A = this chain, B = another copy of it.
Amino acid sequence: MAQANPILEAFNQTPYPVTGSGKFSVRLLLEAFEGIDGDTDSDIYGNGKLIEDFQAKMAAFLGKERAVFFPSGTMAQQIALRIWSDELGKKKVAYHPLCHLEIHEKDGLKELHHLEPVLLADKDRLITLSDVGNMKEDVACLLLELPQREIGGQLPAFEELEAVAELCRKRGIKLHLDGARLFEVLPYYGKTAAEVCALFDSVYVSFYKGIGGIAGAILAGGEAFTETSKIWKRRHGGDLISLYPYIVSSDYYFERRKGEMAKYYAAAMELAELYNRCTGLKTKPEVPVLNMFHVHADVSKETLVPLFLDLYKETGIGLTRNINAINETSCYFEVSLGERYEAIPKPLLQDAFRLLNEKLNHIK
């Protein structure tokens, strides 16, 4: 059973939830399938027009030779690293200490693929060019996550990315992009997806972060790489007879939101400023580089939760669905902006932050 989360329940009750693009409800699917002809053939074990068309479309968008649809990024990324490891005959792969594979996948990469991660950089900062330059281990692949989600969604300068890519090419290290939030970072870089992906040998993107779909992922790269990834998809149990519930919805929400990321990014900058004006709150990064950031509070979770519950009730504004404890005197939460933000009347939002600041001052 899921543990009760009072702040999530309260958030879902507010007339003005601030984050995300909508509730995780069945409506997501119903909307995506509204215009779909019932006679449309299912994909069958990775074949058929429905899956092949979407894969071709995403390959073109990402500027890669081929793309393969996966039920999850967890599956797609373990497989990407395994393929590069096998190709280079090296068991080591490098990534950030807070990489999804390291902290959210129950060690699938180690338990299923017996790969050995080399953790680059400190937990609280990005991987730099010199981290890669100073790496002593002989790795098959370096995984970079753009943005680095667990530190609030930070990004290296594009020039540094280019330098890292060049260094990897020289050293014979494959470069893989964890692009779970790739669409979201394009406005900051002022680049197309293909321009960013050109620096990488393989790329994963997700359809349920900023895109707001139901689930699903694309893994893209050269033809030999993607063909091998299909074999591993079968081995992992991801080559379902029908993946169309996720493909149709991914395509629908991709079309609906791929052009909206600059708006969500602007919303994040505006909202971060409101947070940073509150006593004891600080966003990370201070100025967001995409539609997400973290808010750190110098009070305990136990203190902040009831304060937020009151605030939601008094203002109708739902700020976050979750608060994470750091220690006895601090906590943080993630903010990710989507379609909902612009529906919130600005005066209401400003009033809510004024009240939030009063409450925070009161507990000091």
Contacts and interface: CB of A to CB of B under 8 A. Distances in A.
Nearest to A249: B245
A235 interface: yes
Contacts of A24: 41-42, 44, 241-242
A246 B240 CA distance: 11
A293 interface: no
B78 A237 contact: yes
A72 B240 CA distance: 6
A256 interface: no
Contacts of A73: 237
A271 B235 CA distance: 36
Given A2-B47, A26-B42, A73-B237, 15 more contacts: A1-B52, A24-B42, A26-B33, A30-B36, A30-B38, A33-B33, A70-B237, A71-B71, A71-B237, A72-B240, A76-B237, A108-B234, A215-B240, A236-B237, A237-B238
Contacts of A208: 241-242
A75 interface: yes
Query: How often does this chain occur in the complex, in copies?
Result: 2
A238 B208 CA distance: 15
Interface string A102-121: 00011110011100000000
A22 to B, nearest CB: 11
A327 interface: no
A318 B241 CA distance: 22
B47 A248 contact: no
A6 B70 CA distance: 28
Contacts of A188: none
B108 A237 contact: yes
A28 B267 CA distance: 39
20 contacts: A23-B41, A24-B241, A25-B38, A25-B39, A25-B41, A26-B40, A26-B42, A26-B248, A29-B33, A30-B38, A72-B237, A74-B234, A74-B237, A105-B235, A105-B237, A108-B235, A108-B236, A112-B236, A215-B240, A245-B245
Nearest first, the 9 closest Cβ-Cβ pairs linking A and B are A75-B237, A108-B235, A245-B245, A2-B47, A27-B38, A74-B237, A24-B42, A72-B237, A26-B40
